[in-house]
Structure 1
């Protein structure tokens, strides 16, 4: 993800905060796929 994407969102938050927000979204997805439902 580039800095331009951050500015386009208008959040104005540093890349570190933005990554943390998306990180939790990616975490629940992999376990859901790997876990047999």
Structure 2
């Protein structure tokens, strides 16, 4: 049980980081395109 909790926490953290990277990437791309 405990191991699975740790896994799901790390998955949530990874998804949050990926989400942030995607937002950052879109921001950079849009900035490049519009400037």
Q: Identify the TM-score tier after normalising by the shorter chain.
A: 0.3 to 0.5
TM value normalised by structure 2: 0.44
TM value normalised by structure 1: 0.43
| Greater relative contact order (Cα < 8 A, sep 6+) | 1
